[in-house]
Structures are given as C-alpha cells and as structure tokens.
Amino acid sequence: MRGKPGSSWWLLQHELRMFWFNSSKRSDRQVWLWILGLCWLGLHGLAFHLLRGMPALPQEVLSIMAIGATLLMVVLGTFMFSSGLKLSVDSLFERGDVDLLLSSPLPSRSIFTVRLGAISVGVASTYLVLAAPLVNAGAVTGHIALLAVYPALLAWAIGTSSLAMLLTLLLVRVIGARKTRVVAQVVSAIAGALIFLLSQAYNLMHTGSRGLATDMVTRFAAPGRLLAPDSLFWLPGRALLGSALPLLCLIVVAGTLFVFTAQFTHGFFVRGLQQAVSSRRARIGRANKPQGQFGRPLAEVVLRKEWRLIARDPNLLSQVLLQLLYMLPLGFVVLRADSGVAPGMAAGLTILSGSLAASLTWIVVAAEDAPDLLQAAPAARRMIRLAKVAAAVIPTLVLMAVPLVWAVAQDVVSGLLMCFTVVASTICAALTCLWQGRPAPRGNFKTRGKSNKVSVLLELIGGFSWAGTGFVLIRAAGPGQNAYDARWASITLSVALLTLLLAWGTRRRAS
C-alpha cells in the first residue's frame, strides 16, 4: 500500500526502502534472497516438526523460562542498542539526503519521527525474520502465545533505538558533532561486544570469585528480592513468552520512550544536523599557522600519512577497537599465568594479530584515496607499498607486544614460540592482503569480505594455520613433549606457507 506523497507513511516507506538498499548490494541481492528464503522456509519446517505435539508448558516452567527469556532480551538489547547507535550516527552524519528532506515542506518533527521509526523497524527486522519460523510454526501448532514474540521484539527494538538516538543527540550536545562520531562508534562497538566480554569474565574468574558471584545472585533471587522469579525484573521475558500484561507494559514503555524522543528532541536532531555540517568548518582562523615536517624519507612520509588517516577514521577505529575488545579475555588468560592455557592463548593471539593486520592493510592498500597521485609521482612504487605494509604491521605488533612480553616473562620457550607465530601471522596476513587487494572505497571496510572473497579466504586459512602451528608447537615444547604434536606442527606450518605461496602466485598484476 503506497502512501500519499508527502505523508509520513510515504516517507517511512522511502526510509525502509533506503534501509533495504543499503543493506544489500543490488548485484547479489537476488541470489542471496533465494538462498536465504529457502533456508528460512526450511527453518519453518524444522520448527513445525519440533513444536508439533509439544504440550503447553505449565505456569511454573514458564516463570523459570521467563528468566532465560529476559536474559535473551538483554543480549538482544545490547545488539539492538549497538545497531541503533550506528544507524543514529549514520542518519546524522552519513546520509546525504537530510538537507533535501529538511528543505522540503515536510515538518522537521515528522521527518525525525519517521527516521526514528525507520531505525527502529530496521533494527527489529533482523530479529523478527530470525524469530519468524518458530513463531509462525507455533501459531499453526497451537502455541498461540508465541505470536507475542513479534510485538515484544518490535517494542524492544523501539525502546533501544530511542535510547540510542537520545544518547547520540546528548553526545552531540555535550561534546559536539565531530567527537560524537568517534565516541558513538566506540560505544556501539563496546555494546555489541558487552555480552561476550561479560561471559568471558565469568569463565575466567577464579573458583573463589565464581562462588562469591553465585552466592550474590542466589541472595538476590530470594523471594521478594530484585531477582526473585516473580520480580518485575523478568517482565521483558514474560512479555516475550506471551503474558498479556507484561507485553502491554513493554509496549507502553517503548511507545512512551519513542514519543518522548520524537516529540521533545527533534529540535536537537535538526541542530545536530546543522552542527554536523558546520563542525567541519568550525576551526577557521586559528592564530598559529601549521608548520609542515618536510624533507623526511619517503617511507616515513608514507607511514605518517597512513597512520594519520587510520587515527582519524572513526569507523575504522571502532572496528579495530572491537577486535581489541575480543582480545581482552585473552589478556585475562595471560595475567592468570596458567601454563596450561599457553597453547590456546598462542592460537588466539595469532588469529587476532593476523585479522588486525589484514584489516589495516586493506585500509592502507586497497582503500587508498588517491591512487593516481601515487602513480603520477616519481617515487618507487615498491617502496611505497612496503611502507604501506609496514604501516599496517607496526601498530599490530605494538598492540601484541604487551601480552607477548608478559608471555615471554612467564615462560621463555613458549613465549618465544608465541612471538614467532604472531609475527608470522601478522606479516603473512598483510602480504596476502597486499597481493590480493582490489581497490575499493574506504567506506566498504566492513563489507570487504563480500567484494574480495579469495583474499579473505586466504587470510582465514593462513591465520588458522599459523594459530594451529602456535598451538601444537607450544604443546610439543611443553612438559611431556609429544612427537605427535611436532608432526602436526609441520603440517600446519606447511599449510600456512603454502597459503602464502598461493596468495603470491595468484597476486593481482598491479602488485
């Protein structure tokens, strides 16, 4: 049903269409639609098979399940908040159509309301589609209460998206548009990784600390306390499982949050947009003139340029930060100084360093903004490319240095073996990306795997091979040395080197 041109419904349709276009590339959309559609139908069949004949659950079981469902909602909430934050930043800073919309006769409040609505629907869509097989099959097999999943997820997405937009606007007001882009990207990355980090933190706790945490949770779960089974704390879970009143409460809270955000902060939104444009020119007229640092060797000039570009790219920074966040649990393992975890730690650090180096190499090599400038210059291309690889490898190794030095201090042999696989993985990933890289806009960083599958596949095989090498080498060098491990090490090492050779053999002509 098409809305009347200029109406809010019409604008919402436009926004959702834009969301869909931005989510998938036109060329591969049809193929993916077919594949995903078939999988989705298959999941319906599987869900139908599972739910058919399943009796309705008794109330006691449902109240226990509400706890699990609430925890699931919290996990989804962090992901939704992360996506909402990213989409809010995009709507303020990245989308090029806001000037067009604001210059139209549409009221700015409608534009903001529709945009916030589109963000909410966009955030919810993934989870609604994923939940659909179970919910639809439930409706057919008599588990009507499962239909509540749809409004519960939508309300949850509306609430988290509104909070994300409020945070974005607050950041713009407090720290300005320029810094908001960076901070919001970082917060989005942290929110996305929060549950993973918390789960790892619990796993890495000493037995005593775990006991303490369990005691605390048990105390709070006593009747009448915050985490008791009948507590309001589990309301989102009960709403998800189809209890009418909790569902109504969830919808009312989310709706109120949405209306409050849309009605009372649209002025901030418009000012945020204006600031986003004007902040780029806000520093005109500083008294001191910048002094360049000329006459440096070519390699240093290239390194400085690449590092400046990396450091000033909020999208990239947030991605790198996300990788570092996933590295944190490994850091905790290192600090525990438990020799039994050294092989696993070597594997983890090796994969992370390779992944980080590949990401940075893609940015400095494939996403070069001015390739014609480099080609038109008399400087040796080989030197420029080497300097670019160094620009990706050096920061990676600097970041890895802290856990590696600690590992060497704990156990020299396994620490040095770890250094070997980390350095090898870093350099191999960078070289693979250099040889296989195809020019692409910097903004394609997150989807680089789609556009260059061969490169990403070779990076993955290389990374896992080096990780395997680190794992078995350290096991082989440990107490009760094992010849079986040594043989495995030679196999994984061979795969790693062959992968590098393959990357070189199939390198693009330009390299």
Partner 1 sequence: MSADIALQMQDVSKHFGRPAVQHLKLAVKRGELYALLGPNGAGKTTTLRMVAGLLAPDGGQIEVMGIDLATDPAAAKQTMAYLPDDPMLYDKLKPMEYLEFVAGLWGVAAQDAAPRAIELLDWLDLSKHGHELTEGFSRGMKQKLALAGALIHAPQLLILDEPLTGLDAAAARQVKDLLLNHVQAGGTVILTTHILEVAERMAQRIGIIQHGRLIAEGTLDELRARTDGGTLEDVFLQLTSQA
In the complex, the residues that contact partner 1 under the rule CB under 8 A are 279-281, 283-286, 289-298, 300-302, 304-305, 308-309, 312-313, 369-370, 372-380, 384
Q: What is the 3-state secondary structure (H, E, C) of 445-475?
A: HHHHHHHCHHHHHHHHHHHHHHHHHHHHHHH
CB of 442 to partner 1, least distance (A): 8
CB of 496 to partner 1, least distance (A): 34
Q: Tell me how far CA of residue 420 lies from CA of 181, 330, 471, 474, 507, in angstroms.
A: 37, 18, 12, 11, 25
Asked if 183 contacts 168 with a C-beta cutoff of 8 angstroms, the reply is no
Identify which of residues 96 and 340 has a Cβ nearer to partner 1 in the complex: 96
CB of 324 to partner 1, least distance (A): 21
CB of 493 to partner 1, least distance (A): 39
Look up residue 443 and give its DSSP letter.
G
**The dihedral sign for the CA sequence 209, 214, 218, 221:** positive
Asked if 51 contacts 138 with a C-beta cutoff of 8 angstroms, the reply is yes
Identify which of residues 1 and 370 has a Cβ nearer to partner 1 in the complex: 370
Q: Residue type for 82, please?
A: S
CB of 318 to partner 1, least distance (A): 15
Identify which of residues 208 and 290 has a Cβ nearer to partner 1 in the complex: 290
Identify which of residues 60 and 372 has a Cβ nearer to partner 1 in the complex: 372
Identify which of residues 275 and 469 has a Cβ nearer to partner 1 in the complex: 275
**Around Cβ 367, how many Cβ atoms within 10 Å?**
20
CB of 181 to partner 1, least distance (A): 11
Dihedral of the CA atoms 258, 264, 268, 271 (nearest 10)?
A: 120
Which residues lie closer than 8 Å to 207 by C-beta, 6 or more apart? none
CB of 206 to partner 1, least distance (A): 44
Identify which of residues 1 and 284 has a Cβ nearer to partner 1 in the complex: 284
Residue with tokens 């000033």: 312
Identify which of residues 225 and 296 has a Cβ nearer to partner 1 in the complex: 296
Phi-psi label, residue 2: left if phi above 0, alpha if psi -120 to 50, beta otherwise: beta
Q: How deeply is 161 buried, as exposed, middle or buried, from its count of CB atoms within 10 A (0-12, 13-18, 19+)?
A: buried
CB of 286 to partner 1, least distance (A): 5
Asked if 286 contacts 368 with a C-beta cutoff of 8 angstroms, the reply is no
Identify which of residues 5 and 96 has a Cβ nearer to partner 1 in the complex: 96
